[in-house]
């Protein structure tokens, strides 16, 4: 579903609207940032420059876990809980797989029925993955725009699998891993790497007949986490249980996050991590731009298809073809 194209506004008009907390303009500014048109990108950069001094005053939370673990349901209830504390909440989703452009998150928007009607909440469907310039970069811009619009808690749901965990980990302050109580084999099926990225774990669906299993899983994960090296800030990730259905455990999760914020600010880690994330963002933006410049360069665009065919047919090696393309590019730069 592509949004209806409206005439572009000036950068100042977007920025003023966002800073005033105008949701329509916030949505339009995010759409602008997601656009792959060069003119839109240039305008979006100007908007970002103007809003940047007004960003950073939120707590950024990433929510991850296997499909079906209950991320969206959790966000609906947890987001509602946080608005109950009088805080403004924005929900974003990151979906790096361009094939799933919309379906899942539109479904989510209806699933987050309660939250989507909450005046303190804003839900932004995920960007349809554009070919160049990762969706992660777009989500980062959306996050900053939401901060500028005055949202105090940003929840980012990972959608799909693979790189999305790392991408979200690299833009949030606190990374929450949701887990299901398994049938005795709790530690199977989830990658150790993802557990190492988490600042906290919550066993979901701890309700009804599942309560006992959830408690067992909690104990098992606590033990397992002892075998992990401490995180960079010296924080030991707690393991909690919750039920989005019954609304249990949400308060304890929020307290854990607040405790983490106090801990990491006191250690100086909070700001350190944000600075590192900014630096990484700069380099990934640069990589995106280089890639885009490279592939759209006439010297490359003219030979790419031929070389791709040759590689597919086995006539040219992959490394050799890459080298040829790069040489063509370099030679044309010398002219
Ligand atoms: N019993 C119980 N069921 C739950 C709870 N939370 C979610 N569910 C159910 O679990 C299923 C999956 O929930 P979702 O919130 O869509 O899970 P998700 O992780 O967002 O899934 P994807 O977006 O597809 O990765 C739904 O049928 C929910 O109703 C809970 O606290 N208790
Ligand atoms: Mg979901």
List the chain domain ranges.
1-54, 56-267, 297-334
For ligand 1, atom 22: residue with the closest CA: 67
Fold exhibited by the domain 56-267: Rossmann fold (3.40.50)
Structure token pair of residue 236: 């030991």
For ligand 1, atom 9: residue with the closest CA: 70
Reference 123, options 161, 74, 90; nearest CA is: 90
pLDDT of residue 187: 53
Ligand 1 pocket at CB < 6 A: 65, 67-73, 159, 204-205, 207, 243-245
pLDDT of residue 47: 97
Output the CA–CA distances (angstroms, integers) from residue 92 to 3, 61, 62, 127, 142, in the order listed: 17, 10, 9, 9, 8
317 alpha carbon – ligand 2 mean position (Å)? 41
pLDDT of residue 184: 46
For ligand 1, atom 13: residue with the closest CA: 70
Q: Among 62, 70, 203, which is best to mutate for testing ligand 1, by the most ligand atoms less than 8 A from CB?
A: 70
Looking at all shown ligands, the one closest to residue 211's CA atom is 1
Please list, in sequence order, all residues whose beta carbon lies within 8 angstroms of the beta carbon of residue 284, skipping any fewer than 6 positions away.
Answer: 134, 136, 137
Q: Among 62, 64, 68, which is best to mutate for testing ligand 1, by the most ligand atoms less than 8 A from CB?
A: 68
pLDDT of residue 265: 96
How would you list the strands of the sheet with 89-94, edge to edge? 121-124, 89-94, 153-158, 59-64, 174-179, 200-203, 239-241
Please list, in sequence order, all residues whose beta carbon lies within 8 angstroms of the beta carbon of residue 171, skipping any fewer than 6 positions away.
Answer: 60, 62, 136, 139, 140, 143, 156, 277, 281
Tell me the CATH architecture of domain 1-54.
Up-down Bundle (1.20)
96 alpha carbon – ligand 2 mean position (Å)? 14
Q: Are 3 and 30 in contact (CB under 8 A)?
A: no
pLDDT of residue 100: 43
Enter the DSSP assignment of 31. Answer: H
* pLDDT per residue of the chain (335 residues) written in tens, 0 to 9: 455 666 789 999 999 999 999 999 999 999 999 888 889 989 999 999 999 999 999 999 999 988 888 999 999 999 999 999 999 999 998 765 544 444 455 555 556 888 989 999 999 876 555 444 566 778 899 999 999 999 999 999 987 666 778 888 999 999 999 999 874 455 555 667 788 889 999 999 999 999 999 999 999 889 888 888 878 888 999 999 999 999 999 999 999 999 999 999 999 999 999 999 999 989 988 988 899 899 999 999 999 999 999 999 999 999 999 999 999 999 998 87
For ligand 1, atom 17: residue with the closest CA: 70
**130-144 pLDDT tens trace:** 444 566 778 899 999
pLDDT of residue 232: 83
For ligand 1, atom 32: residue with the closest CA: 205
CA 295 vs. chain centroid, Å, equals 26
């Amino acid at each position: 579903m592509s949004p209806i194209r409206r005439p572009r506004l000036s950068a100042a008009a977007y920025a003023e609207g966002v800073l005033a907390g105008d949701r329509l303009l916030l949505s339009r500014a995010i759409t602008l940032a997601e656009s792959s048109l060069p003119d839109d990108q240039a305008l979006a950069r100007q908007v970002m420059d103007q809003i940047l001094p007004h960003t950073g005053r939120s707590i950024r939370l990433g929510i991850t876990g296997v499909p079906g673990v209950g991320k969206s349901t959790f966000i609906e209830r947890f987001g509602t809980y946080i608005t109950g504390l009088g805080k403004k909440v924005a929900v974003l989703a990151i979906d790096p797989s361009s094939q799933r452009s919309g379906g899942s998150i539109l479904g989510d928007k209806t699933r987050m029925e309660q939250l989507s009607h909450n005046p303190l909440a804003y839900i932004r469907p995920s960007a349809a993955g554009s070919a160049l310039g990762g969706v992660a970069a777009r989500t980062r811009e959306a996050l900053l725009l939401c901060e500028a619009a005055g949202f105090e808690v940003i929840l980012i749901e990972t959608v799909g699998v693979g790189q999305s965990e790392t991408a979200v980990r690299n833009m949030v302050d606190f990374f929450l891993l949701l887990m299901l109580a398994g049938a005795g084999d709790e530690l199977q099926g989830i990658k150790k790497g993802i557990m190492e990225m988490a600042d906290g774990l919550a066993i979901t669906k701890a309700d009804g007949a599942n309560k006992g299993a959830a408690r067992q899983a909690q104990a098992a994960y606590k033990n397992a986490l002892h075998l992990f090296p401490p995180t960079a800030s010296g924080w030991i990730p707690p393991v909690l249980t919750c039920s989005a259905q019954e609304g249990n455990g949400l308060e304890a999760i929020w307290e854990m996050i607040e405790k983490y914020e106090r801990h990491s600010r006191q250690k100086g880690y909070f700001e350190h991590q944000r600075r590192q994330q900014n630096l990484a963002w700069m380099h990934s933006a640069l990589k995106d731009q280089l890639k885009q410049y490279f592939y759209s360069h006439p010297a490359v665009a003219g030979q790419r298809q031929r070389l791709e065919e040759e590689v597919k047919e086995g006539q040219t090696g992959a490394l050799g073809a890459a080298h040829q393309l790069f040489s063509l590019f370099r030679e044309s730069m010398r002219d």
